[in-house]
Chain A
Amino acid sequence: MVRASLLAIWCVLMLARVAGAQGNYEIQVYGADTVAPKSLMVELHSNYTPTGQTKVIGGVYPTNHQEHETLELTQGINDWAELGFYVFTSEQNGHGVQWVGDHIRPRVRAPDKWHLPVGLSLSTEVGYQRAVYSPDTWTWEIRPIVDKTMGRWYFAFNPALERTLHGPDVNQGLGFSPGAKVGYDFTPKINCGFEYYADYGRLGGFDSLHEQQQQIFAVTDLNVSPKWEINFGVGLGPTAATDHLIVKGILGRHFDWGKRSAVD
């Protein structure tokens, strides 16, 4: 009995961590660029979990066969800042389409005039998600972002730190959830590569590998137009704490506010 309870608590903690990192709601390694001022980026993140958690644990819905649609709106503030807003939803047999939560995400970046050899920005995100999707209902994240393009290669690294503000993990301190990406330009329009996502657990006391979340995605980015962002990928999670198979897609479109004159 005690063993079963401990297992249930462990599962809840794992699920909480997924939600805190936006888990399979927004699966994306951030580049350092921010959205230009007077323009809005609208993205739809569509993620499906063919093979995931199948049991209801601690009142949290299982992830298996969940379809997640996340709307992300990012408004450029100036040449070095933007503000993002998320609406998370989930669709699943037996539960229908449900609202999961909202996050808000301000971000700043190193201005071009600093002439840094790498792209550098810092994002912070705070938000709420319903307890049936995550026991930790209020979470906060800070995400440094470094990226670099070298010839046909693109590299990005997001060593994110997370904290629970309300929920069972509120006393757990900071968790370490890095993301990384490497891509290669096969043509001007087609970039293929890999994305890596992980949750190592609490800073200063990482979980064992078996209990960590580890995901690797094979991804394709299509640079069909400066107006559009298209990303598609298939991810595998080899550890017990990770959904084993996820399919993800991102469709984004830039919109300019107002008419920009040729003399601006």
Chain B
Amino acid sequence: MTSRITRRRFGQLSGLAAGAALVSPAMRAATAPDIALEIAPYTLEASPKHHFKTVAYNGQIPGPLFRMRQGQKQTVEIRNASSEPEVVHWHGLFLPPEIDGAMEEGTPMIAPGGTVRYSMTPDPVGFRWFHTHTFAGKDLTKAQYGGLHGFVLIEPRDAPGAYDREVFIGLHDWGGHFEGSDDGAMSPVYDVSTINGKMLGFGDPVRVKQGERVMMHVLNSSPTEVHWIALAGHRFQVVALDGNAVPQPKTVEMLRLAPAERVSAIVEMKAPGKWVMGEVRKHIQSAGMGIVVEYAGVQENATWTQPERLIWNYRQFSASNKVLPIGDEATRIELTFDSKFEGHGSEERWRINGKSYPDTEEPALKAGERYRLVMKNESMDDHPMHLHRHTFEVRQVDGGGPEMTGLRKDVVLVAAKSTAEIEFVADHPGRTLFHCHQQDHMDRGFMMVFRYV
């Protein structure tokens, strides 16, 4: 009989075993790492009236921005000065499972007080991020609820850049508590929402100049919430999703980002004034999700223009709307998502093909083969599905329409009661985690691991 190790227990065991032993003080003193991260207690001031005790990377929320050159090896040192075991997931990078940052793949946890050091080769090019990958359960201040995240930009060896400057935007929600929703499920709701750790009116504005082309790298680091973002008086030319250039850049009124999704969009600054960039939905903007974009030399109150509808679809960015045959070379893996009711006062268990992690199947992959994940979402919730260590191509969303091509991502939102299909090439051997990026869902079993044979 084999005993299964839960996520929580795995963290306790590996954290105690691994973290402290990896780096000695002498080693640390020998050479300075390219990337140094310290995880330590921190109090976020979202506004003078809204404070959240949490942990942060290098004493800031969001954590630092790391710019790296594609293929140029980086040494990483992570010190855990918090009271809980930690692990850092490099989201969207092609890293081996030992350092990808998920204990389910085999990355050791870093014990409290411990330090780890390793090297990594950044790939692929684009807007990535890093974040904690721990268990929160009923404590909605831990794990991704606590806001442990930062930005990564992997630049190509030569980057001409059709823009004048870059701005990094991080969306997050704070002060979560579980509430029963209309469909009887328990979901987190939040008191405060922020951009770059601040509520609207309390952070530094984004200062721009007329005529600039500003590349906005927007990350939704919310533990559970989809966000809709607009910039009054301006439009976004979307050039990349999840850091990957889209086949058809499109200019849109607003962005939709599921948890863990990123959008890179160029904004032409041609409407001098002081504008609000924020959540389109009124109740979330009023909870704080907004930032002021201020043209140089402008003295006036910030203006918001309320959109009347929510508009977004993945398909507009794909290469082709013509009917393509479904590739026979891809091996289909059918995955059905649903939940097991545990009572109106409890959070449901999430299942893939009828099983919750750690009892979920471990499909076998052959290196070099192409696979098609057919994700049938039978639940009443949307799910942002994330595949670690790989990029996939979105081929179908909402259960119909022509095949899509060329839209490469690492997170896709699978709408409630719909089917989405993605394809990927198994080109990064090693255990590979696949999960819903909603913290409460992954904590309740919405994960599985692919293994290479």
Query: Which residues does A use to contact B, with CB under 8 Å?
Result: 112-113, 115, 148-154, 185, 187-188, 191, 223, 226, 261-264
Contacts and interface: CB of A to CB of B under 8 A. Distances in A.
Contacts of A191: 344
Contacts of A263: 280-282, 306-310
Interface residues of B, number: 23
B345 A188 contact: no
B239 to A, nearest CB: 26
29 contacts: A112-B177, A112-B189, A149-B343, A149-B344, A150-B346, A151-B342, A151-B346, A152-B342, A152-B344, A152-B345, A152-B346, A153-B343, A153-B345, A154-B344, A154-B345, A185-B341, A185-B343, A185-B344, A188-B341, A188-B344, A226-B182, A226-B183, A261-B309, A262-B310, A263-B281, A263-B306, A263-B307, A263-B309, A263-B310
Interface of B: 177, 179-180, 182-184, 189, 191, 280-283, 306-310, 341-346
- Interface core residue of A112, A153, A226, A261 (most chain B CB under 10 Å): A261
A126 B180 CA distance: 31
Contacts of A187: 341
Given A154-B345, A226-B182, A264-B283, 6 more contacts: A112-B179, A148-B345, A152-B342, A152-B343, A187-B341, A261-B309
Contacts of A152: 342-346
Nearest to A113: B191
A222 to B, nearest CB: 12
A264 B179 contact: no
Nearest to A148: B345
- Across chains A and B, which 10 residue pairs bring their CB atoms closest together, nearest first? A152-B343, A149-B345, A226-B182, A151-B343, A151-B346, A188-B341, A185-B343, A150-B345, A262-B310, A151-B345
A156 to B, nearest CB: 12
B188 to A, nearest CB: 12
A112 B307 CA distance: 28
A256 to B, nearest CB: 12
Contacts of A151: 342-343, 345-346
Contact of A223 (B184, B282, B283): B184
A148 B180 CA distance: 12
A109 B184 CA distance: 20
Contacts of B309: 261-263
Contacts of B179: 112
Contacts of A226: 182-183
B256 to A, nearest CB: 12
B378 to A, nearest CB: 13
Contacts of B308: 261, 263
A184 to B, nearest CB: 8
B279 to A, nearest CB: 9
A255 to B, nearest CB: 15
Contacts of A113: 191
Contact of A149 (B180, B191, B282, B310): B180
A264 B281 contact: yes
Contacts of B177: 112, 115
A248 to B, nearest CB: 22
A251 B210 CA distance: 61
A113 B190 CA distance: 9
Interface centre among B182, B281, B345 (most CB of A within 10 A): B345
A153 B183 CA distance: 17
A187 B307 CA distance: 40
B287 to A, nearest CB: 11
